[in-house]
Structure 1
Amino acid sequence: MNDNQPRDSEETKAPCPQSQNTEKEIYQPDELDILDKLEENPQLISKIIAKFHSGPLPSPEDLTIYNQLIPNGADRIMQSVEREQSARIELDRHKTECDINYINKSLQLQQRGQWIAFVTVLLFFILSFLLIWTGSPVLGASIMGASLVAIVTIFITGKAIKSKSK
């Protein structure tokens, strides 16, 4: 049989054509008309149609079936979904509160650290000024210079650490 010639009418009307030859057969779209087969065999249509549903709840048809199979099945499913949703909302609320508390504590620690640093720097400047005033200008200037170098270094490394963490 030539590959371009149509096959027997029995073979084209069969619901699931299978080759009797052991040789590999090449599929040719014009040989097999799927729509004609579906019209001839409605049972094949019911096997091809599928139902898809996406979401947290079953479809209304499925809820009706659950209600028929299980006493108050649809109501029980809805209550379960409502409990899950309220638990999820409560968990999100708790997480948000924890995040806010964490941020507030971090800000408090930063402010406290800034005040301690300010007081420390102020004490070093006062000490330097007193040393210069009492007649030790070299020692006073050394303490003041070292304090300024330390402050500038802390600010530069602090900004570098923040930029790396972002």
Structure 2
Amino acid sequence: MSSASDESEPTHPASLSREETSQISITAHWSGPLPPPGTLAAYENALPGSAERILAMAEAEAEHSRALEREQVRSETSLTAAEIASERRGVWLGFVLAVFVIVVSAYLMVSGFIGVGLGLISVGLISLVSLFIYGRNHPRS
């Protein structure tokens, strides 16, 4: 009967044989348009001529990136030229408007409308001065 009792008793964990396992993890990092030399050689071994194709693809991608950068610089330069032209146009229009206000104010004062002429020139000068002050203290984004 002892054999029946041996079968019914649970086996103690300490009596079990332990199998130890270990795990090794290797992590590699490669940055760039081409795979690491070992991987490139493996591609070439698996498919002859593939290393040359991979190199040609990386060269084409690099040329494409340079072309995009050149186009970006060109568009930024042309945008800057357009902004400069707009600024110049604004300065000239402001100058013409200021001269017009001064001439009309002078004409009104000579014609006997001194109060209206002074008021017009005052509004014009206050507007120009406030524009210069506002433009200098609040840079564009």
TM range (shorter): 0.7 to 0.9
Distance 1:66 1:152, change over 3 A: same
Q: Aligned pair 1:138/2:109, yes or no?
A: no
Return the offset for 1:49.
Answer: 5.1
TM-score normalised per structure 2: 0.77
Counterpart of 2:20 in structure 1 is 15
**Residue 58 of structure 1: SS of its match in structure 2?**
coil
Report matched runs for 1:103-142 at 5 Å.
Answer: 103-142=80-119
The number of equivalent residue pairs is 126
Return the offset for 1:71.
Answer: 2.4
CA distance in 2, matches of 1:116, 1:149: 17
Amino acid at match of 1:58: P
Counterpart of 2:38 in structure 1 is 61
Amino acid at match of 1:61: G
Per-residue CA shift, 1:46-81, capped at 9, x if unaligned? x62525131121111111111111121111001101
CA distance in 2, matches of 1:159, 1:77: 55
C-alpha RMSD of matched pairs (Å): 2.2
Report matched runs for 1:13-92 at 5 Å.
Answer: 14-16=19-21, 48=24, 50-56=26-32, 57-92=34-69
TM-score normalised per structure 1: 0.67
Amino acid at match of 2:51: A
Amino acid at match of 1:75: E
CA distance in 1, matches of 2:27, 2:122: 79
Counterpart of 1:96 in structure 2 is 73
CA distance in 1, matches of 2:29, 2:123: 71
**Residue 55 of structure 1: SS of its match in structure 2?**
coil
- Indicate conservation of the 8 Å contact 1:53/1:59, yes or no: no
CA distance in 2, matches of 1:77, 1:15: 44
**Residue 109 of structure 2: SS of its match in structure 1?**
helix
Percentage of pairs with the same residue: 23
Q: Which runs of 5+ in 2 are unaligned?
A: 1-13
Q: Which runs of 5+ in 1 are unaligned?
A: 1-6, 17-43
